[in-house]
Each structure stands twice: as structure tokens, then as C-alpha cells.
Structure 1
């Protein structure tokens, strides 16, 4: 009975939101907006609970002096400072912009640089273990992107930087990314339809 009620509520909410997008009926639009507001509020609460859980886990590591407790301390201090400043100032405040451009952005760039080197090493190891066509394509693509993007001591390679890298990044990679996004969209649509028709019952049903 519990699973039937939860499934019925999920189906009803999904149908109201879906019908409200296709038919401009004032009552349905109001109910749809209300349900979406509830969803946004619940998502914000889930994020807040996740932050509290993160603080709790790292605080326990600091108190028990586990391995990596120093990094947990840095994480907790950084999170609290950012949270307090974010509550005191607006997101577009110069203080928040300074934190973003001085801390967040350099860290992201460093991680992207490490990711590029890691991909190159992974492609080499993959070619050693499984020497096939896909391994060669992966390694060659990684090298082409690095040669066309990275600053070289002897200057920029004209062909790699002007023609080959834009073609790989803007044509081949964009086509692959669009294919992945289309697959995600179709999978999401299929999952939503299965929930709407009661085939899948993730809310306490079987």
C-alpha cells in the first residue's frame, strides 16, 4: 500500500508538470510551478545536508587524527570562510570575485593540466597493454591536442594549432559530446516514461 501511494504521487506530479508544459492552463501552470519550487527547495536542502555531512566526516578525521587530517582541516576552514563570506557579501562582490579568481580558478587550471598529463600516460599504458586501433587513436588524439594547445619552447606549430586542433576539438569532440548528450536525454526520457506509466517504482515500490 505504501509503495502504491508513493508511486501514484510520483505519477501524478510527473503528469501535472508534463501537461503543464504542453497546455497553457492557468491552474496547471500554477501547480506545475509549485511542484518545481518544491523540487528546487528539496534539492537545496539535500545540498545543505551534504555540506553538513562533509563537515561531520572531516571533523571526525581531525579529532581522531587520522591520515590526511591536515587536508581535512584545510577543507573545513576553507569551507567555513567561503560560507561566511558568501552569506555576508553577494556573489558578485569583489571579495567573492577575488576568492574565485585567486583560489578556485588556479586550482581548476592546475587540475586540468594534471588531467592532460594523466590522459597521456593512460594512453601510453593502454597502448602497451592493449595494442589495438582504438588505443592508437586515443594516443594520437591526446598528442595532437597537447601539441596544438601547450606552449612549446620553440614556438607554436602552425598546422597543429590553426587547423588540426580546432578540427578535433570543435568537430570531432563536439560531435561525440552531442551524441553523449542525446543518449543521456533519451535515457532520461525513457526513465521518466517508465516512472509515469508505473513500470518502474523507485519510491518504495517493487
Structure 2
């Protein structure tokens, strides 16, 4: 077994935290609190290392003699401006939060746009390979919902059934978000159990 000491520490730490969470043993409660309090500086250190690695990678891309990537300068300048504003104004300052929001929202919108285009292209390729009544039904329902939700037609205001149907349709993203959160939770539990039994050892690489 590679890295047996790290594996033993990870398994023992996981067992102590789990036992302290499920069993009301007075001895385990302070140990569990100490271990959980250590996770904050460790996670902060890991995040700092990740940020420094990201900056070093883009700095090397910018200074590369063969394949120089000039887009890296935008990331470096944005990081420097955000970091300087955070040091000068403070993380709780409303102006600093406004700056971060104005940077974060366009990035999230761009990622959602890329995701939408990617899923649309993947759906088109899938329907080209497997043509059938499901592809026709999906295409017709997509066009219909886009027309109804775009606001060009005021059918939803005149027909109660359509209005209730569209209201129910608008709740589907909430169900999808909950499904994604459940998937993340199950994946985290599975990964934790695999680390707990020693099947996965990401700390030994």
C-alpha cells in the first residue's frame, strides 16, 4: 500500500468525525470540533496554492517564446485589480462586493451560454444519429415552449390551463437544481467512503 501513514491518518480522522457526529460520547466531541476547525486553514491554504499555481501557469503562458497566449494577461490584470481592491477596501465593503459581482455575473452568464450551446449541439448530433418519434416530440415541444415563454403570445393570460401548465413548467429548474445537489451529495458521500476504507488515496500521488 502506498503512503500507509497518510492512509491511516485519513481513515482515523474520518472515523473520529463520524463517531463524534453520530454517537454522543463526551470524549469525541472536543476532538471532532478540533479536527473540523483545522479544515478551515487547510482549505484556505489549498485554495491559496491553487491560486498561485493558476497565476504561475498563466504567467508562463504569457512569457512563452513558442506559444504565447495573450489572453492570460486579462486574467492576471483582473486578479491584480480584484486583489488590490480587496486589500484597500476590505472584503465587506459594498464597493468591493459590487466589483466582484460585476466580474462574477458576466463569467457565470458566459458559462451558462457555453453550456446551452454545447447541450444544444449535443442534442442535435444525437437526434441526427437516432432519428425517431422522440426526436420529433422533443423538437416540437422545445419550439412550443420557446414561443410560449418568450412573451410574443399572450395565450397564457387567456387560458387558465396553459397558465397553470407554464407555472408548473417554471418549477422544473428547481427540481433539476435539487437533483444536481443530490447528485453532488451522493458523489461526496461515495468519495468519502472510498477514502475512509482506503480504496482511494488522492493524498499519496
TM-score by length of structure 2 reads: 0.74
Q: How many aligned residue pairs are there?
A: 201
Query: Superposition pairs for residues 101-116 of structure 1, below 5 Å?
Result: 101-116=101-116
**2:19 aligned residue:** 19
Q: Is the 8 A contact 1:20 1:32 kept in 2?
A: yes
Report 1 or 2 for greater relative contact order, CA contacts < 8 Å, sequence distance ≥ 6: 1
The 1:148–1:14 alpha-carbon spacing in structure 2 relative to 1, beyond 3 Å, is farther
> What is the CA distance between 1:66 and its match in structure 2?
5.9
Change (3 A) 1:118 1:49: same
1:184 Cα deviation from its structure 2 partner: 4.2
Matches for 1:54-93 after TM superposition, within 5 Å: 54-64=54-64, 69-93=69-93
State the SS of the aligned residue for 1:35: helix
Mapped to 2, the partners of 1:120 and 1:175 lie a distance apart of: 21
* TM-superposed deviation, 1:183: 4.4
Offset, 1:17: 0.5
Equivalent residues in 2 for 1:31-50, closer than 5 Å: 31-50=31-50
How far residue 14 of structure 1 moved from its aligned partner, in angstroms, is: 0.8
Shift of 1:15: 1.2
Q: Does structure 1 retain, via aligned residues, the 8 Å contact 2:147–2:153?
A: no
For structure 1, which segment, 84-93 or 113-122, has the greater mean C-alpha deviation from structure 2 after superposition?
A: 113-122
Gaps of 5+ in 2: none
Change (3 A) 1:185 1:106: closer
Q: CA deviation at 1:104?
A: 2.5
Q: TM-score, normalised by structure 1?
A: 0.74
2:54 is paired with a residue of what secondary structure?
Answer: helix
1:64 partner SS: coil
Q: For the residues of structure 2 that align with 1:149 and 1:11, how far apart are their CA atoms?
A: 52
The Cα shift of 1:71 comes to 1.4
- Residues 97-106 or 128-137, more deviating: 128-137
Structure 1, 61-70 or 48-57: larger mean CA deviation = 61-70
Structure 1 unaligned regions, length at least 5: none
CA contact (8 A) 1:123 1:138 kept: no
The answer on whether the counterparts of 1:123 and 1:135 sit within 8 Å (CA) in structure 2 is no
Aligned residue runs from structure 1 range 82-161, under 5 A: 82-132=82-132, 135-136=135-136, 139=139, 142-143=142-143, 146-150=146-150, 154=152, 158=156
Q: 1:28 to 1:93 in 2, by over 3 A?
A: same
Where 1:200 maps in the other structure, the secondary structure is coil
Answer yes or no: is the 8 Å Cα contact 1:62–1:69 preserved in 2.
yes
128 and 164 in structure 1: CA distance in 2 versus 1, 3 angstrom threshold: farther
What is residue 167 of structure 1 aligned with on the other side?
168
